[in-house]
Chains A and B, each alone.
Chain A
């Protein structure tokens, strides 16, 4: 640690305050992959933070009808992520671990790019095949 950094750390320690402005995309765009896919990024993320209560493998089952243990369920129920994670910040509840800034940015990018399932051999995102959202309580086909 350089002397400047150490001094900054001491000041921070004395202040004990939250720091920073802007999003991770603005501060450090290189920390995010250009293409976000279910296989590479989103499946383990949603398993860790959401699937404890919202998946078929969870003890309580697919609570509120959300299944974040599957690709189709995650796409069909993404409005739940939008609402409770991005807007309300009410999920995951209490002391349950929450996605950090990078992980939230990955979820947003996945949504913005149209929910890629995986990369093809050329490194381009591949969308999932057709599926029916009715099984998750939704009315629309994708």
Chain B
């Protein structure tokens, strides 16, 4: 029988739920990872670290995702995390630090049984290398499959003071092939959804497109990798919130095909430094185009003429992280022009140090130059974000979030402050409901008009 030390905060929790709130959290899992060691370590006591080159433990995206930049298919560690640590109900396992954090127990909760169907099969030729994840640690899940498929479906409801709009936010499909040890090819394709609704989405001239595709050498010492393909450049915090200025202003919005570049990337994430570096052929900026009145044009798969480079490096420790990113693009003005951006990222997870403080703080600041459309003159721009997350019980995350942008350092009163509050409710394994209310405060005052976004999400 577990006790429930957090019931005293229910009034506050209910109030926050009524206010509704923001969603999308994946870098948050990374920031909180230091307190769920038993996601991978079956016996944390008595553990002896191997030499650094052979350690797999890290707090980076590649700890749970096949794509080292995050998003898309999960490896066995990520799939087990989704079945065990995330859900409120029917978790296959509970980390020992979460044993006393249930809202209530179901008889099957934590019975070391994975309930979601697993879409992963086989073992690669040559067997699994030493740096592959250990099959004995994840309650029977396939740890190094030859074939893996996945799907991520999101249905959204957008509410404003005047209208309610339900639309298909995302339907991504994933495929990975891992025929030989160290070598994996993976791709993500998806429906190109439109916020106008189902009919507008179905009527698109191009309805489905390949978004990301990589051929990767991985499972190497120091958790290093090399890949070539089409991907989002490594820069900053890869928030799964495409409205965040730190993504949109830097042309890194994951919902846009324009954010994808074609190139090569190397990286590593031993415990606990990380480094990702990429050189690439950029894509065109998502500019308004006279020949595309409905904004449906698909950017070229192989990008546009020019070059780009991105570097992201830092340290992700068990309870904190600090890093920096830089990115350059050189391309024609008609494709969006040159950009140069610096970023600082960080997180602090006091929960790692004190079990009674289930809070996590994350933030990022960007400053850079880019060319103005039309004239090509250089303009300084800024973007920032911060969020504070609270996990009152297993499976329910509450959030306060702040976004800022000053899109042109010479133009006055064009900056935006935006605040939001929200929740992520991981109901059962592989199903989540998220909600958020956002309020923009434009420069020079004006009327405040909030909106609400609720997303029902299922994935395998």
Contact = CB atoms under 8 A, between A and B. Distances in A.
Interface of A: 1, 5, 8-9, 12-13, 16-24, 27-28, 30-33, 39-41, 43-45, 47-48, 51-53, 55, 57-60, 63-64, 87-91, 93-98, 100-103
Contacts of A8: 380
A52 B196 contact: yes
Given A20-B412, A31-B373, A39-B290, A90 B447 contact: yes
B292 interface: yes
Interface in B391-413: 403-404, 406-413
Given A19-B382, A21-B410, A59-B200, 5 more contacts: A19-B380, A20-B413, A39-B290, A53-B162, A96-B243
B382 A47 contact: no
A95 B440 contact: yes
A53 B451 CA distance: 13
20 contacts: A1-B340, A9-B342, A9-B367, A12-B367, A16-B382, A19-B410, A23-B412, A28-B377, A31-B375, A31-B377, A52-B195, A52-B196, A58-B165, A59-B165, A59-B197, A89-B445, A94-B160, A101-B408, A101-B414, A102-B372
B16 interface: no
Interface stretch (B180-188, B304-312, B415-423, B424-432): B415-423
Contacts of B452: 94
B380 A53 contact: no
A27 B382 CA distance: 18
Interface size class of B (residues with CB under 8 A): 35 or more
A137 to B, nearest CB: 15
Contacts of B164: 60
Contact of A9 (B380, B414, B445): B380
Contact of B162 (A1, A41, A64): A64
A24 to B, nearest CB: 5
A24 B200 contact: no
A52 B165 contact: yes
Interface of A is mostly: loop
A7 to B, nearest CB: 12
A97 B197 contact: no
Contacts of A16: 365, 382, 384, 404
A41 B443 CA distance: 24
B446 A40 contact: no
B451 A94 contact: yes
Nearest to A66: B162
Contact of A96 (B408, B420, B451): B451
Nearest to B253: A97
Given A16-B365, A39-B290, A94-B439, A44 B295 contact: yes
B162 A20 contact: no
Nearest to B160: A93
Contacts of A64: 162
B377 A22 contact: no
Contacts of B294: 44, 47
Contacts of A17: 406
Contact of A44 (B199, B288, B444): B288
Contacts of A90: 446-449
B126 interface: no
Nearest to A46: B293
B196 A13 contact: no
A43 B439 CA distance: 27
Given A30-B375, A52-B195, A22 B412 contact: yes
B348 to A, nearest CB: 18
Nearest to B161: A93
Most buried by B among A5, A31, A43: A31
B205 interface: no
B406 A59 contact: no
Interface string B168-198: 0000000000000000000000000001111
Contacts of A27: 408, 410-411
B293 A44 contact: yes
A48 B451 contact: no
Nearest to B243: A95
Interface string B253-271: 0000000000000000000
A9 B368 contact: yes
A98 B440 contact: yes
Contacts of B278: none
Contacts of B379: 28
Interface string B273-308: 000000000000000111011110000000000000
